[in-house]
Amino acid sequence: MKPVRIAVFPVGGLGTRFLPATKAMPKEMLPIVDKPLIQYAVEEARAAGIEEIIFVTGRGKTAIEDHFDYAAELEQVLSSREKNGILTELREIPGPPGSISYTRQQEPLGLGHAVWCARHLVHNEPFAVLLADDLIKSDVPCLKQMVDAYEQVGGNIVAVTEVPQEHTNRYGIVAPGARKDRLVEIKGLVEKPKPEEAPSRTAVIGRYILQPVVLDILSNQQSGAGGEIQLTDAIAKALTVIPTHGFHFEGTRFDCGDKAGHVMANIAFALEREDIGADVRQYIARLQLT
Ligand code: G1P
């Protein structure tokens, strides 16, 4: 079995749910405390052994490229002020030279289309897909948990979690088969079904390990829910040829493309910080008294 070395990050989305913040700034650069969402996702990928990172970007996303580069002027200033801690931290963000590639999705034709835009960079290998606005707080990074499971079962694996029935129309929903520990067989997959039509409440979250055949299927460019080319549909089509599992990850997922989810993630991450956790905790305790 080939190891999972490559990760695709679709970062071309317009972030309309987060306007006006995302008018001139990519939604992936929204910070949780002091770190942009995309950096959390890239760190998670690297912790899972990912060596090559592919960003599928779009217009107005150059801040992401700048973030994963050295910042000579800033570094000079930090160095002259002997701020060595943050300097080292900034220097680590880009990773090894040449480990990040960029390609553009020219039109917003859907998540499946975005992933397909990376096909020439993925070669013929299994690859991960991470959606940065799904932020997962866990002891073991979510993708690492999935890579460990992948080494047992192979095939396609998608992260899943249970959602309220009334929210099925926001997610890819799984028709589940037998479950063993954290892994559940997937018998069917449907993108954003109405609550009354959903096969279950088990929803796909933005972490995938996929076989290259999914890219071949996406080449057909068939549009699905919302008129978009859906990744969910391509994984569903691959069910007959590729064993496919849902993975019930350990951890809490925050939908950071959503304003409330973003605020909640900030609180959860802030509370755990050594530098600001105590202040934030005190503030919240005071709020509860009033
Ligand atoms: C995408 C996928 C969907 C998945 C979701 C997870 O939807 O199409 O299947 O459940 O991410 O966040 P989006 O949120 O881009 O509409």
Q: Which of 219, 251, 264 is nearest to 237 (CA)?
A: 219
For the whole prediction, is pTM greater than 0.85?
yes
Exposure class string for 218-255: b at 16+ Cβ within 10 A, else e: beeeeebeeebbbbbbbbbbbbeebebbbbbbebebbb
Q: Per 3-state DSSP, what percentage of the chain is helix, strand, and coil (rounded to 5)?
A: 40, 25, 35
Q: Is the CB of 228 under 6 A from ligand 1?
A: no
> Which ligand 1 atom lies nearest to the CA of residue 230?
8
Q: How far is the CA of 100 from the centre of ligand 1 (A)?
A: 24
* 52-95: pLDDT as tens digits: 999 999 988 999 999 999 999 999 999 999 999 999 999 999 99
- Which CATH number, 3.40.50.1980, 1.25.40.10, 1.10.287.810, 3.90.550.10, labels domain 6-257? 3.90.550.10
Q: Is the CB of 246 under 6 A from ligand 1?
A: no
Structure tokens at 20: 């006006």
* 116-136: pLDDT as tens digits: 999 999 988 999 999 999 999
Alpha carbon distance 47, 34 (integer Å): 20
Domain ranges of the chain: 6-257, 259-290
Q: Which of 28, 105, 171 to mutate for ligand 1's pocket (most ligand atoms within 8 Å of CB)?
A: 171
255-277: average pLDDT: 96
